[in-house]
């Protein structure tokens, strides 16, 4: 076998979302922080992301994480979150997968009933508490970054759909929350919340992202992170304690998990409206029936915004281990997309 590259991974899925965790074959990237490493990676090594995430080795809805030595003394591992569309500052489902992989492969010291893992990410330090029984990770609870409602009751003009009402919030990434029901042009999107309408939601989500970023682009007041690349369509009957939704990611694909950063952002919206207090369970259920359970554990601030510290609990399962190679004659050394 001839190869110019040999990358080791552990394959997993978090509540339905496939997550490829890179455990070997990649050295430490330059940078004094994980944010600097993310910037360096994007500028100098993005072909590794596309090699792993894009076809023929990946697909349009695959997520991933690259393990790194931490850049800070209080962290166990560093992580870069990758997917087909780019390098995320934070990924809740990816964090849950990474923590599960670290426990079940013995890459951290495992303690029962709870193993605490501190992860150095581009958005900051993320703490994961893994519930362990007989050496197996049964669930993972992460303490996410401070989340906040950026702008409530907004209206954007979306070509082909009219005026769409939305809330914009941050939970590690920016999200636009839109009602799936209602009539187009009167606030809602007018798409029935049915499994066979996934393509309709994808098209609408792509259009709403573009409209939000053109008309009311959100910018994080501390980090400067900007842009909305996620749209959540809420099912009729969703409440402040139990929501059902479908999540569309940039540039236009259906997330296979309930969304950790999205759950955080949605809880921040409910808190800003006075609907969700501290230490109350919030169940965020995805299209296919899987769910994350969230809690708000502390009030804080982000710039001038009132913010909350959320926890997210979910499950991940290991599905295999792999080695990815690159034949020197392969016509797609960095993968491809269609």
d(CA 250, CA 210): 10
d(CA 269, CA 282): 12
Q: What is the mean pLDDT of residues 313-335?
A: 95
Given phi > 0 = left and psi -120 to 50 = alpha, else beta, which region is 282? beta
Say whether both 211 and 291 belong to one domain: yes
Instruction: Please pick, among 54, 91, 166, 228, the residue that the annotation labels catalytic.
Output: 91
pLDDT at 82 over 60: yes
Say whether both 66 and 91 belong to one domain: yes
Say whether both 61 and 195 belong to one domain: no
Residue 302: DSSP 8-state: E
d(CA 101, CA 32): 25
The H or E element spanning position 282 is strand 282-286
**Paired sense of beta strands 63-68 and 17-24, if any:** parallel
List the Cα angle 121/125/131 in 5-degree steps. 100
Given phi > 0 = left and psi -120 to 50 = alpha, else beta, which region is 274? left
d(CA 53, CA 58): 4
Task: Look up tokens 């197996």; give the residue.
Answer: 136
The per-residue pLDDT for 20 is: 98
Residue 224 inside a domain? The answer is yes
Residue 23 inside a domain? The answer is yes
pLDDT at 264 over 60: yes
Mean pLDDT of the chain, nearest integer: 94
Tens of pLDDT, residues 214-235: 999 999 999 888 999 999 999 9
Tens of pLDDT, residues 84-99: 889 988 898 999 999 9
Residue bearing the bigger pLDDT, 181 or 106: 106
Specify the CATH number for the domain of residue 131.
3.10.310.10
Say whether both 128 and 173 belong to one domain: no
Classify burial at 67, counting beta carbons within 10 Å of its beta carbon; exposed 0-12, middle 13-18, buried 19 or more: buried
Q: What is the mean pLDDT of residues 200-214?
A: 97
Our answer to whether residue 91 is catalytic in this structure is yes
Residue 246 inside a domain? The answer is yes
pLDDT at 298 over 90: yes
d(CA 208, CA 211): 5
Task: Look up tokens 């394959």; give the residue.
Answer: 11
Q: Is 271 helix (H, G, I), strand (E, B) or coil?
A: helix
pLDDT at 304 over 70: yes
Which residues partner with 296 through β-bridges?
310
Give me the percent of the chain exceeding a pLDDT of 70: 98
Tens of pLDDT, residues 116-136: 999 999 988 999 999 999 989
pLDDT at 279 over 90: yes
Residue 111 inside a domain? The answer is yes
Say whether both 79 and 225 belong to one domain: no
Say whether both 266 and 191 belong to one domain: yes
CB 119 within 8 A of CB 94: no
Say whether both 14 and 123 belong to one domain: yes
Residue 201 inside a domain? The answer is yes
Whole-number Cα distances in Å, 327 to 11, 59, 71, 287:
22, 20, 33, 39
pLDDT at 105 over 60: yes
Task: Look up tokens 């965020």; give the residue.
Answer: 284
Say whether both 269 and 175 belong to one domain: yes
The per-residue pLDDT for 181 is: 79
Cα-Cα-Cα-Cα torsion 292, 145, 63, 67, nearest 10 degrees, comes to: -120
pLDDT at 1 over 80: no
What DSSP letter does each residue of 94-144 carry, written as one string?
HHHHHHHHHHHTTSS---SSEEEEEEEETTEEEEEEEEEETTEEEEEEEE-
The H or E element spanning position 233 is strand 228-234
Instruction: Give pTM, 2 decimals.
Output: 0.89
- Domain interval for residue 279: 148-303
Residue 332 inside a domain? The answer is no
Residue 163 inside a domain? The answer is yes
CB 238 within 8 A of CB 245: yes
Smallest Cα–Cα separation from 149: which of 310, 309, 307? 307
Tens of pLDDT, residues 41-80: 999 999 999 999 999 999 888 999 999 999 999 999 999 9
Paired tokens of 5: 């590259």
Given phi > 0 = left and psi -120 to 50 = alpha, else beta, which region is 76? alpha
d(CA 37, CA 27): 12
d(CA 190, CA 182): 5
Tens of pLDDT, residues 153-202: 999 999 999 999 999 999 988 999 999 977 665 567 889 999 889 999 99
Say whether both 169 and 127 belong to one domain: no
The per-residue pLDDT for 155 is: 94
The per-residue pLDDT for 185 is: 57
Task: Give how many domains the chain has, as a whole number.
Answer: 2
Residue 334 inside a domain? The answer is no
d(CA 44, CA 99): 27
Say whether both 182 and 289 belong to one domain: yes
Say whether both 74 and 198 belong to one domain: no
Say whether both 36 and 133 belong to one domain: yes
């Amino acid at each position: 076998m001839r190869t110019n590259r040999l990358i080791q991974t552990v394959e997993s899925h978090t509540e339905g979302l496939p997550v490829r965790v890179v455990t070997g074959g990649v050295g430490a990237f330059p940078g004094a922080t994980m944010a600097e490493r993310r910037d360096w990676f994007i500028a100098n090594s993005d072909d590794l992301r596309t090699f792993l995430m894009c076809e023929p080795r990946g697909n349009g809805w695959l997520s991933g994480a690259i393990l790194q030595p931490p850049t800070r003394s209080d962290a166990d591992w560093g992580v870069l979150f990758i997917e087909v569309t780019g390098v995320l500052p934070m990924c809740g489902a990816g964090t849950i997968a990474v923590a599960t992989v670290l426990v079940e492969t013995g890459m951290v010291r495992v303690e029962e009933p709870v193993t605490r893992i501190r992860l150095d990410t581009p958005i900051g330090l993320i703490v994961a508490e893994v519930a362990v029984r007989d050496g197996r990770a049964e669930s993972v609870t992460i303490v996410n970054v401070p989340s906040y409602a950026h702008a409530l009751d907004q209206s954007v003009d979306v070509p082909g759909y009219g005026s769409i009402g939305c809330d914009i919030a941050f939970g590690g990434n920016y999200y636009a929350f839109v009602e799936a029901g209602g009539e187009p042009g009167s606030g809602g999107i007018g798409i029935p919340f049915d499994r066979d309408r996934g393509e309709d939601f994808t098209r609408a989500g792509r259009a709403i992202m573009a409209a939000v970023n053109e008309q009311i682009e959100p910018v994080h007041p501390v980090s400067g992170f900007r842009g909305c690349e996620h749209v959540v369509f809420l099912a009729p009957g969703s409440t402040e304690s139990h929501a059902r939704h479908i999540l569309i990611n940039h540039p236009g694909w259906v997330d296979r998990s309930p969304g950790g950063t999205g759950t955080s952002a949605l809880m921040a919206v409910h808190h800003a409206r006075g609907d969700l207090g501290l230490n109350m369970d919030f169940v965020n259920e995805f299209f296919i029936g899987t769910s994350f359970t969230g809690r708000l554990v502390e009030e804080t601030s982000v710039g001038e915004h009132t913010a909350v510290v959320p926890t997210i609990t979910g499950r991940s399962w290991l599905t295999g281990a792999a080695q990815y190679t690159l034949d020197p004659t392969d016509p797609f050394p960095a993968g491809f997309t269609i």
